[in-house]
Amino acid sequence: MVSPYGESQVFRKTDHVWKDYAGATYNKSYIFETANGDEFPAQGQQKFILATNKGNDSFEANDVTYGLEQKGEDYWAIYSSESVATVLTLKGKSTYKQVGNTEVTDEIKEGYEEAVANDENTFEVDGITYTIEKAGRENQITISGEVAFATKKVFSAAAKDADLGFQFKQAVLDAIEAGETSFEYDGTKYELNTTEEETSTEVVKDGEVYATISNLLVSPQANGVFLSLSFKEAVEQAIADKATTFTAINEAGEEETYQLQTKNTQYVVRSQKATTVNDTYSAPSKKHWAGTDGNGMDMLTRLMYGGRISLMIGFVVIIIEGIIGILIGGISGYFGGWVDTILMRVVDVVICIPAMPLYIIIGSVMDYYKIDPRIRIYALCAILGIVGWPGIARMVRGQILSLREQEFMVATEATGVRISRRIFRHLIPNVIPQLIVIATMGLGDVILMEATLSFLGIGVKFPYASWGNIVNAVNDVYVLTNFWFVWIPAGFLILLTVLGFNFVGDGLRDAFDPKMKR
Q: What is the 3-state secondary structure (H, E, C) of 442-481?
A: HHHHHHHHHHHHHHCCCCCCCCCCCHHHHHHHHHCHHHHH
Kindly state whether residues 165 and 123 are assigned to the same domain: no
Whether residue 498 is contained in a domain is answered as yes
Q: Give the range with max mean pLDDT: 106-110, 308-312, 507-511.
A: 308-312
Dihedral of alpha carbons 219, 222, 224, 228, sign: negative
The pLDDT of residue 322: 92
- Looking at 95-249, list the stretches that DSSP marks H as alpha helix, in order from N- to C-terminal side: 106-117, 166-177, 229-241
pLDDT over 70, % of the chain = 97
Kindly state whether residues 130 and 162 are assigned to the same domain: no
pLDDT digits (tens, 9 = 90+) for 24-47: 998 888 989 888 666 778 888 899
Whether residue 347 is contained in a domain is answered as yes
Which of 150, 165, 182 delimits the end of a domain?
150
The pLDDT of residue 425: 82
pLDDT digits (tens, 9 = 90+) for 178-216: 889 899 988 889 999 887 766 788 899 988 888 889 888
What distances in angstroms separate CA 22 from CA 29, 245, 246, 299, one per listed residue?
Answer: 19, 14, 13, 38
Kindly state whether residues 362 and 511 are assigned to the same domain: yes
Kindly state whether residues 305 and 205 are assigned to the same domain: no
The pLDDT of residue 38: 65
Task: For residue 298, give the DSSP letter.
Answer: B
Reply yes or no on whether the pLDDT at 454 is more than 80: yes
Kindly state whether residues 186 and 141 are assigned to the same domain: no
What's the whole-number average pLDDT of the chain?
86
CATH number of the domain enclosing 436: 1.10.3720.10
Kindly state whether residues 267 and 322 are assigned to the same domain: no
Query: What residue numbers bound the domain in which 268 lies?
Result: 152-276
Whether residue 130 is contained in a domain is answered as yes
Give CA–CA dist 334/95, Å, rounded. Answer: 121
Reply yes or no on whether the pLDDT at 135 is more than 80: no
Reply yes or no on whether the pLDDT at 518 is more than 50: no
pLDDT confidence band for 389 (50 / 70 / 90): very high
The pLDDT of residue 37: 61
Reply yes or no on whether the pLDDT at 354 is more than 80: yes
Whether residue 195 is contained in a domain is answered as yes
The pLDDT of residue 516: 52
> What's the domain count of the chain?
3
pLDDT digits (tens, 9 = 90+) for 213-256: 988 888 888 887 888 888 888 888 888 888 899 998 887 778 88
